[in-house]
A and B are shown apart, each in its own frame.
Chain A
């Protein structure tokens, strides 16, 4: 009998079973249950279930991030309902307006740890694979069920392996790797699968960069995405964690239904064209396309190193189109202030908004006009995603977003890196 994949080991642990296999359907008890601005809608479903209280309030994390600060009184009412609920149920892990995007905040607070399982009412819950956790998105009714019972059924996914080798060239980032993989795998190539990374290129990536991969690869249809945690992850967690953990690694003889390999050494910057995250080409193929707005932020690329990368490009220069900077968290914002990165961005003509999701899903803070093109460091460019159906969205790395802001058109950041 062959060995186990990460997904098989993680879901066996979460289900309290000695072993599970791909295809099994198991009832798991996740370590963390995540929701955000949708918590008010989930509360209303929960109220209908008849459950007396949240079963495990200490496992519940709620972050207000999707439309913050409230753009309308209806959004404000939604937030107020959530605050009241949090108080009623004694939910300790509540993060109010401005603390940051849920996935980023969970990492900063070390609320999810290697080998653990997190289910979230957010499709980018795959994000938490950056530190070796099993993270998967679920729907609102399922989240209500998790509050009520602490449990949910999951099918143990088949796994595919992605081996990354080599070293990235200057001006090329994990975002370019992720986009290149989406180009190869496609929007449904990893449907229902656990994507499990391997290879010596991973340990060379900073922790900020590692988080890009499991976040962005949600766009391949994957159920969860896993990076093997190493000493850098353990060192990061040590001063922050409040409980013990056991990291999980796939067995060397685990069964994979697909095997991808990418040598990142010769990879040029990549860009996703409107209106699909997997419609990816080499940046060089679309240089000069006009851009009216550049957006640096989101759970994919709104971390400190992303702001730092953009600052490196725009230092001493002036943007030629709107550059919106929305840090992924208050902590990122403070670090950008303390290091002078924010000042560099502002001096170049950037503007800044409250940490959170910003205009990523079209709520506010940078909705484009019809026909206006946006280049975004985010993960989705579906038609209408940013609130306007006829506004094209390109997805690229923070370097490319910053260079394009300077040029007013899609530009190669390597020309600005000295």
Chain B
């Protein structure tokens, strides 16, 4: 099944300080509070206009800098369905997996779409489909990493282990 998603397009080396400012990291906890500050120092329009199902499309090294997980959870709380980047910082990539938010490595896409464009994602076929018909593969994850994503993230996986399938 192909799902349709509106794109928010950003450049290279977008760091976690502008995705979710450090000054809020020990005080804001509720998902809607986090969502209200998502991308605050990069694109103030984002938190106002983001809709459930939107995707982030970015250049290289998305999410560099601090390890703060809120840089993922704030976007997830804002309704972001996937993040597609030319590359990810390593901790950010792990945080995505652990939060059950699909990180897709696609070197070309940020040069081909603009903010507001729609793309299709076919998870079963492992493909991104553009409106002009061009198709880009979603690179497969290793089985153990895919298992975390399939469980909905690391927390549900741990719950299964300790609570026997919550």
Q: Least Cβ distance of B48 to chain A in Å? A: 17
Task: Identify B98's interface contact among A50, A66, A141, A384, CB under 8 A.
Answer: A141
Q: How far is the CA of A382 from the CA of B163 in the complex (A)?
A: 41
Q: Least Cβ distance of A106 to chain B in Å? A: 16
Q: How far is the CA of A139 from the CA of B88 in the complex (A)?
A: 14
Is B144 on the interface with A (CB-CB < 8 A)? yes
Is A167 on the interface with B (CB-CB < 8 A)? no
Q: If A25-B142, A41-B29, A74-B27 touch, does A148 touch B64 (CB 8 Å cutoff)?
A: no
Contact partners of A153 in chain B: CB under 8 A:
144-145
Q: Least Cβ distance of B155 to chain A in Å? A: 6
Q: How far is the CA of A78 from the CA of B27 in the complex (A)?
A: 8
Is A49 on the interface with B (CB-CB < 8 A)? yes
Q: How far is the CA of A219 from the CA of B66 in the complex (A)?
A: 9
Q: Do A187 and B13 touch across chains, with their CB atoms under 8 A apart?
A: yes
CB neighbors of B among A114-165 (8 A): 121-123, 137-142, 144-145, 148-149, 153, 155
Interface size classification for chain A? 35 or more
Is B91 on the interface with A (CB-CB < 8 A)? yes
Q: How far is the CA of A145 from the CA of B155 in the complex (A)?
A: 8
Q: Do A188 and B61 touch across chains, with their CB atoms under 8 A apart?
A: yes
Q: Least Cβ distance of B21 to chain A in Å? A: 5
Q: If A67-B26, A363-B23 touch, does A50 touch B159 (CB 8 Å cutoff)?
A: yes
Interface string of B34-66 (1 = CB under 8 A from A): 000000111000000000000000001100111
Is B89 on the interface with A (CB-CB < 8 A)? yes
Q: Least Cβ distance of B72 to chain A in Å? A: 8
Considering only CB atoms, which chain B residue lies closest to A24 in the complex?
B142
Q: If A187-B61, A221-B89 touch, does A75 touch B67 (CB 8 Å cutoff)?
A: no
Is A45 on the interface with B (CB-CB < 8 A)? yes
Is B153 on the interface with A (CB-CB < 8 A)? yes
Q: If A38-B26, A41-B29, A362-B23 touch, does A187 touch B98 (CB 8 Å cutoff)?
A: no
Q: Do A191 and B90 touch across chains, with their CB atoms under 8 A apart?
A: yes
Q: Least Cβ distance of B104 to chain A in Å? A: 16
Q: How far is the CA of A284 from the CA of B158 in the complex (A)?
A: 54
Is A380 on the interface with B (CB-CB < 8 A)? yes
Contacts between chains A and B (CB distance < 8 A), count: 135
Q: How far is the CA of A148 from the CA of B162 in the complex (A)?
A: 9
CB neighbors of B among A45-79 (8 A): 45, 48-52, 66-67, 72, 74-75, 78
Contact partners of B61 in chain A: CB under 8 A:
187-188, 191, 221
Q: Least Cβ distance of A278 to chain B in Å? A: 8
Is B77 on the interface with A (CB-CB < 8 A)? no
Is A241 on the interface with B (CB-CB < 8 A)? no
Contact partners of A155 in chain B: CB under 8 A:
142
Q: Do A145 and B154 touch across chains, with their CB atoms under 8 A apart?
A: yes
Contact partners of B144 in chain A: CB under 8 A:
25, 153
Contact partners of B72 in chain A: CB under 8 A:
139
Considering only CB atoms, which chain B residue lies closest to A45 in the complex?
B155
Q: How far is the CA of A407 from the CA of B27 in the complex (A)?
A: 37
Q: Do B155 and A188 touch across chains, with their CB atoms under 8 A apart?
A: no
Other A-B pairs beyond A140-B69, A383-B41, 10, CB < 8 Å: A41-B26, A49-B159, A67-B26, A75-B27, A141-B155, A144-B155, A153-B144, A221-B64, A363-B23, A384-B41
Question: What 8 pairs across the A-B complex have the smallest Cβ distances?
Answer: A361-B22, A50-B162, A188-B61, A50-B163, A382-B17, A384-B41, A49-B158, A139-B95
27 pairs, A vs B, C-beta closer than 8 Å: A38-B25, A38-B26, A44-B29, A49-B161, A49-B162, A52-B162, A74-B26, A75-B27, A122-B67, A137-B67, A140-B68, A140-B69, A141-B69, A142-B98, A144-B155, A144-B158, A145-B158, A188-B60, A221-B90, A361-B22, A361-B66, A362-B22, A382-B15, A382-B18, A387-B22, A387-B23, A389-B41
